[in-house]
A and B are shown apart, each in its own frame.
Chain A
Amino acid sequence: MRDDVIFKRFTLGRYPINAFLMADRKTGIGVFIDPGGFSDEIELFISAHKIDLKYIFFTHGHWDHIEGFDDFKSRYTFTSYAPENEVEGVDHVLHGDEVLQVGNIIFNTFSNPGHTAQAVSFYTPGFLFSGDALFCGSMGGVQTQEEADVQIAAVRKHLFPLPQETLVLSGHGPMSTIAAERYYNPFFLEK
């Protein structure tokens, strides 16, 4: 568990999602991941912790993960990042091989298509923001078996090699760890 970050999960939106705020304790610079809504709780938390919200990251472009984007725009000045062709009006597109810096926090992005065509995850040591690619004991829905195969392969290739103690912070449902998902998630076990 890292002491250098401020970290908070929020439940947001009409179809509730997990959204996450992470900020560098030293500089106060922060990022909000998947703004599926907005709430007074977010505003109060940002204010109480004196967070300078400079970035918005999107794991993918489904409506339940982006619905609060305009609310954030009206309140904060930030730079936004999203997978290519998934969210309108973002400043930068992601392909899943980037390194992003938020204050002193370094994030790596990983490509995990399937649930959507260009979905990505964000990793910083100790924390994986997996969007809907990997859930606790499950995975985000796909339309075809081919998409399922692509998603399973990407999760196995990019996410499961991460340190086993890494917290898995998914777009829906409870949190988990890489160790639990790698060895017990029925969708990803080798047949």
Chain B
Amino acid sequence: MVQSNCNYTRQSHGSKVLNNVTLEKVKAVNSDFSAWKATQCTFSHFAFSDSAKMNYLHASKTQFNDLTLQDSYMKSSRFLDVVFDRLSAQSSFFDQSTFANCHFNQTSLYLVDFGVTHFHDTHWRNSTMREVSFVGATLVNVVFEDEDHFFVRFPGSLFINTIFRRCVLKKAIFRATTFVNCVFEQCDLSDAVFHNATLENTTFVDTDISKLANIDGAKGLPL
């Protein structure tokens, strides 16, 4: 089924189960699509704004193309085998969600909350992030590749078997963050903070750690 060119303003859609559905060009203003379940679906050119909600979403084997969130919510959701191409979000919330075997390609984020979110076997590629929160997040087998981050916050988060490859991580906040079996490869860590971070079996390959801003209390930094 293909449905396209829908505009919703102040509408509540209740719980829905979608299988093998394609939705295109949907504009949702202050509308509620919470508790949807989507399997093998394609969502293209979705634009959420003005406190639009898609909380408690369960999405699997699903593709989001050009999803845009402005002042909107996709909280407490589960994403399994989901691809996000060109996700753009500002002043929005994905907190307390789970992303497993997901791919984020060319994402653009500004002031977005991924707090207490779990990422497993997930790949971020070519994202631009400005002041994004991953406070208290857990990231296992995650790859960040060719990323451009500024002032992204990871305090109190846990990284296991995670790779940062060719990433600009300027002013990243890794305060009280734990890294286990992680790799920073060809990264720019200018002014990054590792205050009270714990690094176990974590390596820095072709990555200059002489320009970190604060490493007080850090354990396991190869200084």
Q: Which residues of A contact B (CB under 8 A)?
A: 1, 3, 6-9, 18, 136-138, 167, 173-177, 179-181, 183-186, 189
| Closest chain A residue, CB of each to CB of B195 | A186
The majority secondary structure among interface residues of chain B is loop
B101 to chain A, nearest CB (A): 24
Is B100 positioned at the interface, with any CB of A under 8 Å from its CB? Answer: no
B71 cross-chain contacts in A, Cβ below 8 A: 7-9
Is B95 positioned at the interface, with any CB of A under 8 Å from its CB? Answer: yes
B149 cross-chain contacts in A, Cβ below 8 A: none
- Our pick among A1, A6, A136, A186 for the contact of B115 (Cβ within 8 Å) is A136
Is B155 touching A186 in the complex (CB atoms < 8 A)?
yes
The majority secondary structure among interface residues of chain A is mixed
Q: Which residues of B contact A (CB under 8 A)?
A: 30, 32, 50-51, 53, 55, 71, 73, 91, 93, 95-96, 111-113, 115-116, 131-133, 135-136, 151, 153-157, 173, 175-176, 195-196
Is B133 touching A137 in the complex (CB atoms < 8 A)?
yes
Whole-angstrom distance between the alpha carbons of A186 and B116 in the complex? 14
Tell me whether A184 and B51 are in contact in the complex, defined as CB-CB below 8 angstroms, given that A7-B71, A174-B111, A174-B153 are known contacts: no
Tell me whether A174 and B112 are in contact in the complex, defined as CB-CB below 8 angstroms, given that A183-B136, A184-B136, A186-B196 are known contacts: yes
Beyond A175-B113, A184-B135, 19 extra complex contacts between A and B, CB < 8 Å:
A1-B73, A7-B71, A9-B91, A136-B115, A137-B153, A137-B155, A137-B175, A138-B153, A138-B173, A173-B111, A174-B131, A177-B116, A180-B113, A180-B115, A180-B116, A184-B136, A184-B155, A186-B155, A186-B195
Most buried by A among B154, B155, B176: B155
- Our pick among A6, A18, A185 for the contact of B155 (Cβ within 8 Å) is A185
A-B contact pairs, 10 of them (CB 8 A): A3-B30, A9-B71, A173-B131, A173-B133, A176-B95, A176-B133, A176-B135, A180-B95, A184-B157, A186-B195
Tell me whether A175 and B116 are in contact in the complex, defined as CB-CB below 8 angstroms, given that A137-B155, A180-B135 are known contacts: no
B53 to chain A, nearest CB (A): 6
Tell me whether A173 and B153 are in contact in the complex, defined as CB-CB below 8 angstroms, given that A1-B73, A167-B93, A179-B96 are known contacts: yes
A186 cross-chain contacts in B, Cβ below 8 A: 155-156, 175-176, 195-196
A166 to chain B, nearest CB (A): 12
A8 cross-chain contacts in B, Cβ below 8 A: 50, 71
Whole-angstrom distance between the alpha carbons of A1 and B116 in the complex? 18
A51 to chain B, nearest CB (A): 13
Whole-angstrom distance between the alpha carbons of A177 and B94 in the complex? 11
Tell me whether A176 and B115 are in contact in the complex, defined as CB-CB below 8 angstroms, given that A9-B71, A186-B155 are known contacts: yes
